[in-house]
Amino acid sequence: MQGLNDNYVSLQGREIGECIYCGKREVPLGTEHAVPYGLNGPWTLLRASCGVCAKITSRFEHGPMRHLWPDVRNALAMQSRRRDKRSTTLPMVVQRDGVRETIQVPRTKFPTYLPTPLFPPPAVTWANRPVRGVFTNLDVMHVCGPTFAEASKEYPGYDFFGMHINFSAEDFVRMLAKIGFCAAVATVGIGAFTNTPIRKVILGTDQCIGHWVGSWWQEPVNGTNGGLHEIRIVLSEPGKEIHAIIRLFAQFGAPEYHVMLGPADPTYVASSAWPAQWAKTHLIKQ
Ligand SMILES: [Zn+2]
């Protein structure tokens, strides 16, 4: 099995001094992980979220952690705040003579697949009007352990192998929105985001989440050889629209996602706080 890589740590530890979601300053502010801690996310923002907003984000991150990726997190021994509860076996769904049952398989012999939700591109790039919710498809990628075909040889008589997946696409999309926003704040500074649509997606007040978040279907922006996860913050002109291209599990060749963060505040762009050198080299064509 491949070890897990850490990657590009330029986002580490930027101090913000206000809640990046609601703007409150005069409250206790906590550390915000861009990619959740439970996915070995290395990037943090310091003093960046109030208790109320942190509760909202941890609620929607719970879904992908516990329902979409629990097996892959366990098989790859990813970090957990509940490490003592990690089990040494994992549940596999099998079927024999039309009857389905769940058997427990030792972690090292478990056919480990990464479920990867796929979406249309953010609808703002192709639709006239926002639509509620998000459309999703689910793909799976083999990550480690035997394949289902190999595992089936160990269990003669069974004619179906699979796994239970029951996840909320909405939680997943809001997690992507949060990852993209955190990474963008770390890269260009909070001052650029006076009017971003993404805060409402994250806080749950905009139901048209597929308008702003989706899959990235163009040439890959992030490589597969560096970190476990890869994120690039890029611009499209005119208007300096900010985009986050996120590749969770990049190391395993997983697909990329696209978060639209809207145009940077023009006053901020004109100020010395705007990273002009960076902005010159991170342009994409849309
Ligand atoms: Zn807040």
138 within domain boundaries: yes
Confidence of residue 6 (pLDDT cuts 50, 70, 90): very low
Whether residue 238 is contained in a domain is answered as yes
Q: Say how many Å lie between the CA of residue 25 and the centre of ligand 1.
A: 9
Q: By C-alpha distance, which of 284, 261, 276 is closest to 190?
A: 261
pTM value is: 0.92
Give the chain's mean pLDDT: 88
- Distance from residue 35's CA to the centre of ligand 1 (Å): 18
Q: Report how far ligand 1's centroid is from the alpha carbon of 232 (Å).
A: 25
Q: Residue 40 belongs to what domain range? A: 9-281
pLDDT tens digits, 172-184: 999 999 999 999 9
Residue 2 within any structural domain of the chain: no
Q: How many residues does the chain have?
A: 286
Sign of dihedral through CA atoms 160, 163, 6, 232?
Answer: positive
Contact call for residues 213 and 41 (beta carbons, < 8 A): no
Task: State the distance from the centre of ligand 1 to the C-alpha of 182, rounded, in angstroms.
Answer: 13
Cβ count near 42 (within 10 Å): 19
Residue 8: pLDDT band by 50, 70, 90 thresholds? very low
Q: What's the CA-to-centroid distance between 203 and ligand 1, angstroms?
A: 9
CA of 105 to the centre of ligand 1 (A): 42
> To which residue do tokens 């208790």 refer?
51
Asked whether the predicted pLDDT for residue 94 surpasses 50, the reply is yes
Map tokens 């999703």 to a residue. Answer: 136
Does residue 192 surpass a pLDDT of 80?
A: yes
Instruction: For residue 48, report the distance from its CA to the centre of ligand 1, in Å.
Output: 8
Q: For tokens 């762009």, what's the residue? A: 269
In a domain, 250, yes or no: yes
Look at residue 84 and tell me if it is in a domain: yes
Q: What is the CA(53)–ligand 1 centre distance, in A?
A: 4
Q: How many CA atoms lie within 13 A of 112 on its CB side?
A: 22
Q: Which residues make up the environment of ion ligand 1, defined by Cβ < 5 Å?
A: 19, 21-22, 50, 53
One-letter identity of residue 128: N
Peptide bond into 238 cis (omega under 30): yes
State in Å: Cα 34 to ligand 1 middle. Answer: 15
Distance 76 CA to ligand 1 centre (A): 33
Residue 1 lies in a domain: no
C-alpha 176 to ligand 1 mean position (Å): 18
Domain assignment of residue 286, yes or no: no
Domain-embedded: residue 153: yes
Rounded to whole angstroms, the Cα distance separating 179 from 162 reads 30
- Contact present, 57 and 202 (Cβ < 8 Å): yes
CA distance 150 to 145: 9
Q: How many domains does the chain have?
A: 1
- Ligand 1 centre distance from Cα of residue 220 (Å): 33
The tokens for 129 are 């009007």
Q: How far is the CA of 194 from the centre of ligand 1 (A)?
A: 15
